[in-house]
Structure 1
Amino acid sequence: MRQIPVALLLLVALAACTGKPPSSDTITGGNPQHGLDAIRRYGCGACHRIDGVPGAFGKVGPTLQNIGERAYVAGKLPNTPENLQTWIRFPQRVVPGSAMPDLGVSELDARDIAAYLYHQ
């Protein structure tokens, strides 16, 4: 079996690395700007602090700052784009009795909101 020189492997690894995480729209399939609009429309800032959203200084729910760095969504779901979108759309199914109400968030709006939150 032929061995590949370590330097070659290192070169390939460096060429593949961009130094940037994937963009939020790539991760979620959503649009961060539309997400900002949806966050305002659904009134998320009444309960949550959300950076970049005027008037979003709520203290009922947790701050949504750096949500992409958290291990879990809703304290129970692994933090993936799909799970965040499920939580945004159906919080009462995920955690019955949660203070977060079902707001009738559409699938598209959930993708856009997740894109905005991961984009912060």
Structure 2
Amino acid sequence: MSHRIPARWFLLVTAPLLLALPACARTSAPPPPEVRTGRPDRGATLIARYGCGSCHTIPGVDRANGLVGPPLTRFGSRSYVAGKLTNNADNLQHWITDPQGVEPGNAMPDLGVSPIDAQDIAAYLYTLD
């Protein structure tokens, strides 16, 4: 005597299990990079002062709605800086102070950002996750 399970019952039992499998394979995103010594409040002011918002859309910064460069929304959750450097504090500060040294000929101008200003700007950008 054969005990066949009707196809509809098989699907009712296995479909939820199959849908749950992709969730098991997911890993948590790494914590956002941070600049431990930077001052995010000062960074937001500096972003406005250097005019970063004329090229980038940057949440929390007045008149930062530029469309030339990429929007910096959720910056702290990104994997790369400028599509080239691993997103960490040192690389971001290097990019901010010397974008042409990182990628010659790119659209980001050298604005003469000092290392301490870059540290504070990075600290602010890492709050955007």
Aligned AA (1:54): D
Query: What SS does the corresponding residue of 1:99 show, helix, strand or coil?
Result: coil
TM-superposed CA distance for 1:69, in Å, is 1.1
* Preserved CA contact (<8 Å) 1:67 1:118: yes
* CA distance, structure 1, for counterparts of residue 48 and residue 55 of structure 2: 12
* CA distance, structure 2, for counterparts of residue 67 and residue 44 of structure 1: 14
Identity %: 59
The alignment of Structure 1 onto Structure 2 pairs a total of residues equal to 98
Aligned AA (2:79): A
* Preserved CA contact (<8 Å) 2:32 2:77: no
Structure 1: stretches of 5+ with no match in the other structure: 1-20
Asked if residue 64 in structure 1 is aligned to residue 85 in structure 2, the reply is no
Partner of residue 88, structure 1: 96
Runs of 4+ in 1 over 6 A off after TM superposition: none
Q: Cα deviations across residues 34-67 of structure 1 (Å, max 9, x unaligned)?
A: 1011101100000000000011000000001111
Asked if residue 49 in structure 1 is aligned to residue 95 in structure 2, the reply is no
* Preserved CA contact (<8 Å) 2:43 2:120: yes
* CA distance, structure 1, for counterparts of residue 33 and residue 87 of structure 2: 16
1:1-120, aligned counterparts within 5 Å?
A: 24-26=34-36, 29-120=37-128
Aligned AA (1:100): M
TM-score after normalising by structure 2: 0.72
TM-score after normalising by structure 1: 0.77
Flag the structure with larger Rg.
2
Partner of residue 10, structure 1: none
Q: Cα deviations across residues 3-46 of structure 1 (Å, max 9, x unaligned)?
A: xxxxxxxxxxxxxxxxxx689452xx110011011101100000
What CA RMSD, in Å, does the superposition of the two structures yield over aligned residues?
Answer: 1.5
* CA distance, structure 1, for counterparts of residue 33 and residue 67 of structure 2: 28
